[in-house]
Amino acid sequence: MVEKHIRRAVPALILGLVAAGVVQAQSTQSSVVRIDGSSTVYPITEAVAEEFQKAEKNAIKVTVGISGTGGGFKKFCRGETDISDASRPILKKEMEACAAAGIKYFELPVAFDALTVVINPKNAFIKQMTVEELKKLWEPGAQGKMTRWNQVNPAWPDAPVKLFGAGSDSGTFDYFTEAIVGKAKSSRGDYTASEDDNVLVQGVAQDINAIGYFGYAYYAENTARLKAVPVVNPKGKAVLPSMDNVINGSYEPLSRPIFIYVAEKAYARAEVKKFVEFYLKHGAKLSREVKYVPLPEKAYTGNLEHLKKGKLGTVFGGTAEVGITIDELMKREAKL
Amino acid sequence: MALQSAAEIRALIARHKRRDVIFGLFGILCLAIGLLTFATLFVDMLIDGYARLTPEFFTNFPSRRAGQAGILSAWVGTVMVMFVTAAVAVPLGVASGIYLEEYASKNWVTDVIEINISNLAGVPSIVYGLLALGLFVYQFGLGQSVATAGLTLALLILPVVIVATREAIRAIPAAIREAAYALGATRWQVVQGHILPYSMGGIMTGVIIGMARAIGETAPIITIGALTFIAFLPPSPVGAEFPFVSFEWLTSPFTVMPIQIFNWTSRPDPAFQANAAAAGFILVFMTLAMNGLAIWLRYRIRRNIKW
C-alpha cells in the first residue's frame, strides 16, 4: 500500500516542483553579462568572452547570442541585453526605440571588417573591379538584365553571371549596398542570398562564373577555394583586401568598422564594466586571431576615455556612412 | 468473361505473379531510398566527425578554436530541456488522453477537440516558437531560460502524446472495462488498475517518439532566443545543503545540441565542420537510443500483461 502511495505521489511531486521552479524563474539574474546581435561581430565577442571567463575563473558568466545586428538592437532597446554586437551603426528607428525605453548607450568601435568580393579561383578574366562595375552588377535596375559578364565589361567573355550575396537582414547587406549602389538596402533581388556565409562560399567555390561578397574572415579561412577581387579605390588604385590595406586605409570603400553598444545602466554593474574593459584591452589581439582587422591602439584607449567621460550615443546620427576613417569617428560628437 | 482454357488461366496467374514481384521490387527500392539516404548521412557524419569524438569533446565548452571546442553546455542543456518537456507533457498529455477516452461523453464538442488535436500535431514548429515567444518569454516573464524551452517543446509534443495515449487505450479490449465495471469498480479504479497499466507500453512509445522529435527541434528554440555561446553550466539541480534541490537551473540561459550544430556549420573556419558532424552524430545517436528505449519498454511492459 505504502509503495503504491509513493508511486502515486511521484508524478504529482514532479509537477509541483516544476511549477515552483517556474514561479521562481521570474527573478532574473544579474551576475550574467548578456550579449546578442550581429553574426559578423560574434567571433570577436565570443573570443573575448572565452578569454574573459578564463581570466575571471568563471566567476562572471557571459552569454553571446546571434540574432543579427537589427535583431540584436531590438532586444537591446527593450533592455533584454547588456551589450549589442553591431556590424553597422545604430539606425534612426533603433535610436528612437532605445530613447522611448530610456536606454542610453556607449558606441564602441572594436575592429574593422573588409567586405570581400570573391570569384572562383579558375576565373582568369577578372583582374580587378571598379565600384561602377560592381554597381552595374548589383543595383536594383540590373535585375533580370545584367545576366552576362560581357554586359558589365565588354572585355569579359559572354558567359552567365552567377551572383551570391548576403541576405537582406544582415548588416553586411546594408553596408555593401550603401557602399556600392549608394543607398542602403537597395539591391537586385535575383541572386542567391543567404545569412549563412558558408552557403555563399560553397556556391562561389563550385561555379566558375560566380561572384559573391561577404566578410573577410570567410575569405581568409577559404583562400584555397576562393579568389579575392582587387577593388579600385577612390584614388584609382586596385587594392586587395588584407589586414595591412585596411589599416592603411587604402582598401576603400569596402572596409567598415564594427561595433559593440553597451547600455549605460549595464555599464554601471561591476561585471559588465570589467568585461568591456577586458574587451578593449584584448580586442586587438583577439580580433586578429579570428581574422578581423584590429583598430589602431589609440582607438581602444580612446574608447576607454569615452567610457570614463560618459560619452553617450552614436556619432553617426542614425544613417549609414561609407568611408569614415577611425580618427574621424573617434573625434566626432555623439548624439543619443 | 469466361476463361476458355487452362493455358489462359496459367497466363493470367503468371501475369499477376509478375505484378507481385514488380511491386515487391518497387517496395524494396522505396525502402532503400529512405534507408540509404539515412545511412549515408550517418556514416558521412561519423567519418567527418570521428576524429573529434574524444572524451574531451563531451567535457569541453564551446571555443573559438575548433580543436578545443566541445559540447558540454549543449548536451547538458538538451538533457535539462528534455527533462522539463517530459515533466510537463507526459502528465498533461496522458491525463487529457484518458479523459477524452474514458470520461468525456461522445458528442460534437469532443469531435471538434479530437480534430483540433490532430491538426495541432501538424502545426509547423516555428509557430509554437512564436507562441512561446509572446506567452512564456514576455507575458509570463520567463525569459530565455531552460523553463521556456522545456515548456515550448512540451506544447509541441503534447498532441503526439495525447494521440498516442488514446490509441493505446483504444487497443484495450472493451471486455476488460466491462468486467471491472461489472464488479462495481469506479471509473478511476478502472483507469488506475487496468487502463493505465495496460496502455503504458503504447503511451511510453508515443512519449518517446514525441521526445525524439523535440530533441532535434531548432526553429522554436531559435525563436525564443537560445544563445549560441555559453561556457558555463546551469546551476546544479541537487546541492549538498538543505533543501538539497534547487530550481535555479530552470531560469538559467542555455544552449542545446541543434543550436550548437547550427552555429558550427556557419563558422568561417572549415575545421568547425568536423565538430558539427561529430555533434550531429551524437544527436542522431541520442535519438536512436531514445527510440531503442521505447522498443525495449514496450516489449517489457507487454510481456507482463496477461489477459
Q: What is the pLDDT of residues B121-147, one digit of tens each?
A: 888 999 999 999 999 988 888 888 899
Same-domain check for residues A88 and A136 = no
Nearest to A261 by CA among A93, A112, A79, A114: A79
Same-domain check for residues A80 and A175 = no
- Burial of B296 (C-beta count, 10 Å sphere; 0-12/13-18/19+): exposed
The cell numbers describing B227, all together, are 544563445
| Average pLDDT of span A48-53 | 93
pLDDT for A26: 38
> Exposure pattern of A264-300 as b/e (b: 16+ CB <10 Å)?
bebbeeebbebbbebbbebbbebbebbbbbbbeeebb
A15–B147 CB contact, under 8 Å? no
Domain ranges of chain B: 2-50, 55-304
CB atoms within 10 A of CB B173: 10
Same-domain check for residues A89 and A143 = no
CA distance A217 to chain B (A): 6
Helical segments of B121-270, H only? 125-132, 146-170, 174-182, 187-190, 196-215, 219-223, 248-251, 257-265
In chain A, residues with a C-beta closer than 8 Å to the C-beta of B223 are: none
- Give the tens place of pLDDT for each residue, B251-294: 888 899 999 998 898 888 888 889 999 999 999 998 888 888 88
pLDDT for B183: 94
pLDDT for A29: 44
Q: Look at A9-23, A215-229, B139-153, B256-270 and tell me which has the smallest mean pLDDT.
A: A9-23
pTM: 0.80
Same-domain check for residues A207 and A269 = no
A63–B88 CB contact, under 8 Å? no
- Give the tens place of pLDDT for each residue, B28-38: 999 999 999 99
pLDDT at A14 over 80: no
Substitution target from B64, B84, B232 for chain A, most A beta carbons within 10 A: B64
Same-domain check for residues A225 and A328 = no
pLDDT for B241: 61
> Is the CB of B145 inside 8 Å of chain A's CB atoms?
yes
Substitution target from A50, A61, A118 for chain B, most B beta carbons within 10 A: A50
Same-domain check for residues A76 and A138 = no
Report the interhelical angle of B271-304 vs B196-215 (nearest 10°): 170
- Give the tens place of pLDDT for each residue, B206-238: 898 899 889 988 889 888 877 778 888 888 776
Peptide bond into B62 cis (omega under 30): no
DSSP string, A16-36: HHHHHHHHHTTSPPSSEEEEE
CB atoms within 10 A of CB B97: 23
The cell numbers describing A208, all together, are 566558375
ipTM over 0.95: no
- Give the tens place of pLDDT for each residue, B66-124: 888 999 999 999 999 999 999 999 999 999 999 999 898 888 998 899 899 988 888 89
pLDDT for A27: 39
Query: Look-up: residue for cell 496477461?
Result: B306
CA distance A150 to chain B (A): 32
| Average pLDDT of span A209-235 | 91
Same-domain check for residues A271 and A313 = yes
Q: How far is CA A182 from the centre of its chain?
A: 20
In chain A, residues with a C-beta closer than 8 Å to the C-beta of B151 are: 22
Q: Tell me the average pLDDT of chain B.
A: 88
Same-domain check for residues A83 and A205 = no
pLDDT at A13 over 60: no
Domain boundary among A187, A212, A247: A247
The residue with greater pLDDT, B306 or A204, is A204
Three-state DSSP at A210 gives strand
Same-domain check for residues A275 and A173 = no
Q: Look at A158-167, B8-17, B138-147 and tell me which has the smallest mean pLDDT.
A: B138-147
Please say whether the beta carbons of B77 and B234 come within 8 A.
yes
> Is the CB of A53 inside 8 Å of chain B's CB atoms?
yes
pLDDT for A25: 40
Domain boundary among A188, A219, A247: A247
**How many distinct structural domains can be found in chain A?**
2
- Give the tens place of pLDDT for each residue, A67-103: 888 889 999 999 989 999 998 889 899 999 999 999 9
pLDDT bin (cut points 50, 70, 90) of residue A9 is low
For residue B237, the chain A residue with the least C-alpha distance is: A21
Which CATH number describes the domain made up of B55-304? 1.10.3720.10
Please say whether the beta carbons of B168 and B206 come within 8 A.
yes
**Chain B neighbours among A 197-256 (CB < 8 Å)?**
197-198, 215, 217-218, 220-222
Q: Tell me the average pLDDT of chain A.
A: 86
Cα(A55)–Cα(B69) distance, rounded to whole angstroms? 18
Domain that holds residue A198: 114-247
pLDDT for A162: 92
Query: Look-up: residue for cell 555533434?
Result: B279
> Is the CB of A25 inside 8 Å of chain B's CB atoms?
yes
pLDDT for B153: 94
Same-domain check for residues A237 and A297 = no
pLDDT for A22: 45
Q: What is the CATH number of the domain that holds A236?
A: 3.40.190.10
Cα(B102)–Cα(B206) distance, rounded to whole angstroms? 19
Same-domain check for residues A241 and A263 = no
Nearest to A123 by CA among A229, A275, A269: A229
Same-domain check for residues A181 and A226 = yes
CA-based Rg of chain B, rounded to a whole angstrom? Answer: 25
For residue A54, the chain B residue with the least C-alpha distance is: B231
